[in-house]
Amino acid sequence: MEYRKLSDYEIRDLESRILFEDNHLLAINKKAGEIVQGDKTGDECLADTLKAYIAGRDGKPGKVYIGVVHRLDRPVSGVCLFAKTSKALERLNAMLRNSELHKTYRALCCSRPASDEGHLEEWILRNEKQNKSYVVSAGRPDAKLAKLNYRYLRSTDRYHLLEVELLTGRHHQIRCQLSHLGCPIKGDLKYGAPRSNPDGSICLHAWNLRFIHPVRKEEMNITCDAPWPDTRSASHS
């Protein structure tokens, strides 16, 4: 199996973004704009880029295994986990089904929620043609229950930083539910933001991932800071 030869810049870039790697797992800071898995666009996906990187770095003959554990939307950044063995992928998939992968996001929103923390539990329906999800009434055919917790962290002059604990993994769930709450994410035109970000990203970042290592059985806690202009010095008002 032959893989594309990466440029020195691509290699340095990937190396700077790897958050954790061992024989079984690889976690990377996904950039906004990258796709995790191949899609109809035909653009090279992060999984294939990582295969090429490992093949070149390790001088591996034959096929490199990279299994997609979970996906992040194209305009979203942050912690993205891959399996390097089929055994690890199988166990991680089971953990995902059992809600044993704990995902926390940071979202920079256009409005501050009325309550500083809350639990959202709503039914979401995906419109395939529009590639968009909507909050609908319970009982609608094909609607799925979506659950998350949110917590207000701080504000800048114009935007408001929320921490979101994702409890289910529905299509565009955080984007849809925060928009329905009246707090669209900065840059997310599809869900009600007034303007786009110059690079096409949205200000939603997979900040932390916690789980038990599928082979070593150790607790894993992987965190990656958001790439936006510094909100850490912003006020709490």
User: Of the candidates 233, 201, 220, 172, which has an alpha carbon nearest to the alpha carbon of residue 78?
Assistant: 201
Q: Which residue has the tokens 């950039």?
A: 31
Annotated catalytic, 48?
A: no
DSSP labels for 133-183? EEEE-TT-TT-EEEEEEEEEEEE-SS-EEEEEEE-S--TTHHHHHHHHTT-
User: Dihedrals φ, ψ of 124, to 5°?
Assistant: -120, 135
Catalytic-labelled residue, pool 8, 43, 58, 73: 73
CA dihedral 7, 12, 14, 15 (to 10 degrees): 140
Q: Are the beta carbons of 95 and 81 closer than 8 angstroms?
A: no
Quick one: 12 exposed, middle or buried, by C-beta within 10 A (0-12, 13-18, 19+)?
Answer: exposed
Catalytic residues: 73
